[in-house]
Amino acid sequence: MMAQTEFEMTENRPLSNAKLAVLILLGSETMLFSGLIGAFLVFRMGNVTWPPLSHADIELPRIVTGFNTLLLIISGFTMFHALRSIQQNRIILFRILLIGTGLLGLIFLSIQGYEWSQLIKNGLTLQSSVYGAIFYVLIGCHAVHVLGAVIWLVIVICMAFSGRFSSDRHIGVETCTIYWIYVVALWPILYFLVYFA
């Protein structure tokens, strides 16, 4: 009983410990991605022809990935509205939006996996050139983050179905939403950088 009261006290702070922890986590993620983007800039600007002549015949699937980007952005909106609905105590809508977000995340990962299999078939691998290496490391790192966000979301969905969240108590949903929206917001930057630069 005492522990619960303490938990509620920390949850009612202007900035809870959980939210601050997620912000710090996202700060470190930003540094990781800025290092990878920095490496990409060196390779991209260091080569006059991009993709290099050895991979001149390989074309990245821009349209399919554009559609995939749209799906991920929609998932950001559904996640945001899931948070809004739990704040208004609309439990059914909250659960539906959470499942929708999870499905959109899974579709994004599936399409990306299919694209990768096609690119590997065409000869673009991690070892084939620096172009392949930076492509797979940068996009793969983001895909791992999406996978992490989906796993986190599955845990939140399980908790939502066991009635652990309400309009007064939803810090778990808030932190998951912050992380999900970060992953969604990061993708268009990587997409335009890697597929169009």
Binding residues (CB under 8 A) for another protein: these are: 13-15, 19-20, 23-24, 27, 30-31, 34-35, 37-39, 41-48
The least distance separating another protein from the CB of residue 150, rounded to whole angstroms, comes to 24
Structural contact between residues 58 and 124, judged by C-beta atoms closer than 8 angstroms: yes
- Best CA proximity match to 185, nearest among 33, 44, 8: 33
Residue pointed to by tokens 């690119």: 119
Comparison of 87 and 125: residue with beta carbon closer to another protein: 87
Comparison of 45 and 151: residue with beta carbon closer to another protein: 45
The least distance separating another protein from the CB of residue 24, rounded to whole angstroms, comes to 7
Structural contact between residues 180 and 79, judged by C-beta atoms closer than 8 angstroms: yes
Comparison of 42 and 151: residue with beta carbon closer to another protein: 42
Which structure tokens are listed for 148?
Answer: 């992490």
Residue type, 47: N
Comparison of 158 and 197: residue with beta carbon closer to another protein: 197
The least distance separating another protein from the CB of residue 181, rounded to whole angstroms, comes to 13
Q: How far is CA 89 from the centre of its chain?
A: 26
Q: How far apart are the first and last CA of the chain?
A: 57
The least distance separating another protein from the CB of residue 188, rounded to whole angstroms, comes to 17
